[in-house]
C-alpha cells in the first residue's frame, strides 16, 4: 500500500532524509536516495513524495519505490487531511493522571513508602530521556536503545513518561509487537502496586 508525505529533512551530502506522512498521526519515515523508483532530480525539503512504507532491519519505518507527486495529487491528499475529524484524547492520558494522583494518595496515607514515589519519578525521567535518545538514533542511523530497557522502565512505573514521549516525539506509536508488550508492562506495574497494598502481600 502506497503512502504520501513531504520531505521535512534532507542531508544531501549523506544522501538520506525523512518524510513526514500526510497523516500526521504517523511517524516520520526514513528515506535514502537509492530508494527512489527511478533516477531524477535531487530531493529538496518540502517536496511531495509517494512511497511504499516498510520496517527495515533497524526497526524503523523506511520508504521504498519513492516517486515525486504532481501538484494535482498533492491537493487531493491535502483535502483529505482537512476533512479528517479532530483526533480524540488518548485514553492513556487520563490513565496517567489518575495513576500519578493515586500514587501520591497512597504515599500520603502511608500505604506506599515515600521512597517509592521518588523511584517511580526517576523511572519516568529516565524513560523519557531514553525515548529521546532512541528517536535521535533512529533519525541519524546510529545504534538504538534496546527495547527491553524501555519495557523494564515501563514496568517499574515509567510508563506515563513513555506514553508522553511516544505522543510528542511520534515514536513507536505503531510498531508491533512493541506496543503489545508496552501495554502488558502497564498492566503488570499496576498489578504489582495493587498486590503491594493488598492484604495478600507476602511481605506484610
- Residue 204 has a pLDDT of 57
Mean pLDDT, rounded, of the chain? 85
pLDDT category at 73 given cuts 50, 70, 90 is low
Say what the pTM is. 0.63
23 vs 73, which has greater pLDDT?
Answer: 23
Distance separating alpha carbons of residues 32 and 27, to the nearest angstrom: 16
Q: Is the pLDDT of residue 82 over 80?
A: no
- Residue 154 has a pLDDT of 96
- Residue 126 has a pLDDT of 97
**pLDDT, tens digit, 9 for 90 and up, residues 26-71:** 888 889 999 998 887 888 888 889 999 888 777 778 888 999 887 6
- Residue 201 has a pLDDT of 75
Longest dimension (CA), the chain: 70
pLDDT category at 84 given cuts 50, 70, 90 is very low
- Residue 74 has a pLDDT of 59
pLDDT category at 80 given cuts 50, 70, 90 is very low
Written as one string, the DSSP assignment of 49-114 is EEEEEEE-TTSSEEEEEEEEPPHHHHHHHHHHHHTSPPPPPPHHHHHHHHHHHHHHHHHHTTSS-H
- Residue 203 has a pLDDT of 65
Q: Is the pLDDT of residue 167 over 50?
A: yes
Helical pair 91-108 and 114-140, crossing angle rounded to 10 deg:
150
Q: Is the pLDDT of residue 81 over 70?
A: no
Amino acid at each position: 500500500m502506497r503512502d504520501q508525505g513531504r520531505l521535512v529533512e534532507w542531508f544531501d551530502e549523506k544522501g538520506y532524509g525523512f518524510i513526514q506522512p500526510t497523516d500526521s498521526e504517523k511517524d516520520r519515515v526514513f528515506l535514502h536516495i537509492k530508494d527512489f523508483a527511478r533516477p531524477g532530480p535531487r530531493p529538496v525539503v518540502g517536496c511531495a513524495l509517494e512511497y511504499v512504507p516498510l520496517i527495515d532491519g533497524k526497526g524503523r519505518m523506511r520508504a521504498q519505490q519513492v516517486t515525486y507527486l504532481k501538484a494535482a495529487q498533492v491537493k487531493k491528499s491535502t483535502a483529505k487531511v482537512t476533512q479528517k475529524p479532530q483526533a480524540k484524547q488518548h485514553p492513556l492520558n487520563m490513565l496517567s493522571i489518575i495513576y500519578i494522583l493515586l500514587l501520591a494518595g497512597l504515599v500520603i496515607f502511608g500505604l506506599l513508602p515515600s521512597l517509592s514515589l521518588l523511584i517511580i519519578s526517576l523511572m519516568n525521567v529516565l524513560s523519557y530521556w531514553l525515548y529521546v535518545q532512541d528517536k535521535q538514533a533512529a533519525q541519524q542511523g546510529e545504534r538504538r536503545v534496546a527495547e527491553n530497557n524501555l519495557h523494564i522502565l515501563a514496568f517499574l512505573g515509567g510508563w506515563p513518561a513513555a506514553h508522553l514521549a511516544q505522543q510528542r516525539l511520534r515514536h513507536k506509536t505503531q510498531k508491533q509487537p512493541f506496543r503489545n508488550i508496552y501495554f502488558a508492562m502497564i498492566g503488570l506495574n499496576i498489578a504489582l502496586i495493587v498486590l503491594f497494598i493488598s492484604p495478600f502481600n507476602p511481605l506484610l
